[in-house]
């Protein structure tokens, strides 16, 4: 890192903190302003904030690492930009007219207070295990790669560059998030989106230049790495190994293989849960000025969401191609003597590319983009977590709390969850890959939430008891899988080699995570339908406007007047771009 690089990074941090300070001066010490930016955000800020919150550290670090190990397989998740259209066209009308702060609050209006409480707990657990812990971990990976020799001793505790970087990212982000709330998060994320996209695009272009262009890049890697649709059985095992349960083993575990069956049927469940029902994302739409701005913000975010395939996954693949040449120093540590990728080392593919292929000055811009991603994702989850805890838990037990007290509690809750997230990092370090860990945990927690929201909106007959039991059963199945996986990830004593082969826990631990997620989804759907139809109908008057069957003519007219040809054209652009990507990466 040259002096010019550091000056660019310091300038970026100065602008971010300056913008946050400007927003801080305009703040109002009310829950509406702190948690939803006074519901006054325009579509440009909403869309950029959604994108920046999503494209965080786990994408820059995890997606590039996945690109190096598995090619474009994970691009399915990035091409879920169409899910943002579902948010804008299907769910935004319900959310905006309900005037809720949180997704659990919407679930209470549709079903019951008990379902709100259960979803809040599930969401907070999920944020700690995924977004907070993963964001902090990825920050540590970046700092450990960029500044490997930095360390600090605090008493008898020695902090290496990994932990020092993690803590620095948390402190910098927490400084403006805790102080400025949603408004500071949204405006800084809009700026960070620009820096992130420009910096990552430059890395892709410089990497391709080192290889001699796109054609040389395609020729440097196996064709299978450019195929989105992976076979059910990995190459080399076809004809000799079938995905069936055998007496002593189950052959449904394709570590890092991502077969088409899971991507086709399971990945959309996680995508629709994340983009349409997760507080972390939807909170930005809730802060929009009106239904029009929320929908257009969602469509704009969908346009931006197509970019990660080319500015995050492709750089990881470029890193592998460069590593195999043996001419790029640090990148060579990604592969063994035979040129095979080393998964653990590949997690640092993006920052190693930054240090290896970029010239002075450009490197500073891209590192600033890295910091933008780290800070934006953490800022988003800090704000979402504090909103959930304060509005769905604390206020429920302390309804007489003043507006000032609610804001203060939100800040305290964020701090506590960050500390828990730091403690969970060793589990992530034991996983095969950062992005695979993230998708695995989300795959265990998402299905019951997806089930109750989607079925609840489209079927007015489903009631509170069905919703509650679907959440409880689904969450229990997911928590069970996490409890089985965690000792193996941590390599605890007695679990260095996993469970005894052929045992029940060994089978659970080795079922491919997407198939297990699909199993949770099917059980959740069955539970909700059976319990709902076996018990009394809900009060249709109480849920007026919260399902398609109970929407009034007034609601329909208001929604129809909120969009025009521009919204249709933007949505069509997103769908055409996704289709072209699928056609190109078809093998």
The CA angle 78-126-392, to the nearest 5 degrees, is: 115
- What pLDDT, on a 0 to 100 scale, did the predictor assign at position 221? 87
Cα–Cα nearest to 387, from 362, 357, 417, 363:
417
- What pLDDT, on a 0 to 100 scale, did the predictor assign at position 254? 44
- What pLDDT, on a 0 to 100 scale, did the predictor assign at position 23? 67
Calpha distance 544→146 (Å, rounded): 55
Mean pLDDT per 10-residue section of the chain, whose length is 587 residues: 83 77 65 59 86 73 80 84 94 88 89 90 79 70 69 61 68 62 66 78 89 88 83 54 40 54 84 89 85 94 90 88 80 79 78 84 80 69 76 79 75 72 60 63 89 94 95 94 78 62 80 88 97 94 90 89 94 95 83
User: For the whole model, what pTM was predicted?
Assistant: 0.81
Most distant CA pair in the chain, distance: 70
The domain 3-228+238-573 belongs to what CATH superfamily? Sodium/glucose cotransporter (1.20.1730.10)
Helix (H) or strand (E) holding 165: helix 161-211
- What pLDDT, on a 0 to 100 scale, did the predictor assign at position 243? 43
Per 3-state DSSP, what percentage of the chain is helix, strand, and coil (rounded to 5)? 75, 5, 20
Is residue 128 within 8 Å of residue 416, measured between CB atoms? no
- Three-state DSSP at 116 gives helix
Is residue 359 within 8 Å of residue 138, measured between CB atoms? no
- What pLDDT, on a 0 to 100 scale, did the predictor assign at position 421? 63
User: Distance of alpha carbon 233 from its chain centroid, rounded?
Assistant: 28
Segments making up each domain of the chain, as ranges: 3-228+238-573
- What pLDDT, on a 0 to 100 scale, did the predictor assign at position 436? 66
Please identify which residue in the block is written with the tokens 């409880």.
472
For residue 157, the 8-state DSSP code is E
- Three-state DSSP at 435 gives helix
């Amino acid at each position: 890192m040259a002096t010019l690089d550091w000056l660019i990074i310091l300038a970026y941090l100065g602008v971010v903190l300056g913008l946050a300070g400007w927003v801080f001066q305009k703040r109002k010490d009310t829950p509406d302003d702190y948690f939803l930016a006074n519901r006054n955000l325009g579509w440009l800020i909403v869309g950029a904030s959604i994108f920046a919150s999503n494209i965080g550290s786990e994408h820059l670090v995890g997606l590039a690492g996945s690109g190096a190990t598995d090619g474009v397989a994970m691009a399915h998740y990035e091409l879920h930009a169409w899910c943002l259209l579902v948010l804008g066209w299907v769910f935004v009308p319900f959310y905006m007219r309900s005037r809720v702060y949180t997704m659990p609050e919407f679930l209470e209006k549709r079903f019951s207070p008990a379902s709100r409480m259960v979803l809040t707990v599930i969401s907070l657990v999920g944020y700690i295990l995924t977004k907070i812990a993963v964001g902090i971990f990825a920050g540590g990976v970046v700092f450990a790669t960029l500044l490997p020799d930095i360390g600090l001793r605090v008493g008898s505790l020695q902090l290496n560059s990994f932990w020092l970087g993690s803590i620095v990212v948390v402190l910098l982000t927490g400084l403006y998030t805790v102080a400025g709330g949603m408004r500071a998060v949204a405006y800084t994320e809009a700026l960070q989106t620009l820096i992130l996209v420009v910096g990552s695009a430059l890395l892709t272009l410089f990497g391709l230049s080192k290889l001699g262009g796109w054609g040389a890049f395609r020729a440097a890697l196996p064709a299978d790495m450019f195929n989105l649709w992976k076979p059910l059985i990995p190459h080399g095992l076809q004809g000799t190994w079938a995905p069936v349960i055998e007496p002593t083993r189950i052959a449904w575990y394709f570590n890092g293989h991502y077969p088409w069956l899971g991507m086709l049927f399971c990945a959309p469940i996680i995508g629709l849960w994340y983009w349409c029902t997760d507080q972390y994302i939807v909170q930005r739409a809730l802060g929009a000025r009106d239904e029009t701005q929320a929908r257009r913000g969602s469509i704009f975010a969908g346009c931006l969401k197509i970019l990660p395939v080319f500015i995050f996954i492709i750089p990881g693949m470029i890193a592998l191609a460069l590593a195999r040449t043996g001419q790029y120093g640090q990148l060579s540590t990604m592969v063994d003597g035979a040129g095979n990728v080393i998964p653990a080392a590949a997690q640092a593919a993006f920052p190693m590319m930054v240090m290896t292929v970029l010239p002075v000055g450009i490197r500073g811009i891209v590192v600033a983009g890295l910091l933008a991603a780290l800070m934006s994702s953490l800022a988003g989850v800090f704000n979402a977590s504090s909103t959930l805890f304060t509005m769905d838990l604390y206020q429920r037990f302390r309804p007489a709390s003043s507006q000032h007290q609610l804001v203060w509690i939100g800040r305290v809750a964020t701090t506590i969850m960050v500390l828990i997230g730091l403690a969970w990092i060793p589990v992530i370090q034991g996983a095969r890959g950062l992005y695979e860990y993230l998708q695995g945990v989300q795959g265990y927690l998402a299905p019951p939430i997806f089930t109750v929201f989607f079925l609840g909106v489209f079927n007015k007959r489903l009631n509170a008891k069905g919703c509650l039991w679907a959440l409880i059963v689904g969450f229990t199945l997911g928590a069970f899988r996490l409890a089985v996986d965690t000792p193996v990830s941590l390599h605890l004593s007695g679990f260095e080699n996993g469970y005894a082969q052929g045992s029940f826990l060994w089978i659970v631990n080795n079922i491919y995570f997407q198939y297990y997620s699909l199993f949770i989804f099917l059980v959740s759907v069955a539970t909700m339908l059976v319990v709902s139809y076996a018990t009394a109908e809900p009060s249709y008057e109480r849920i007026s406007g919260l399902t398609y069957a109970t929407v009034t003519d007034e609601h329909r007219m208001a929604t129809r007047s909120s969009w025009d040809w521009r919204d249709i054209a933007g949505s069509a652009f997103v769908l055409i771009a996704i289709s072209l990507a699928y056609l190109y990466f078809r093998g």
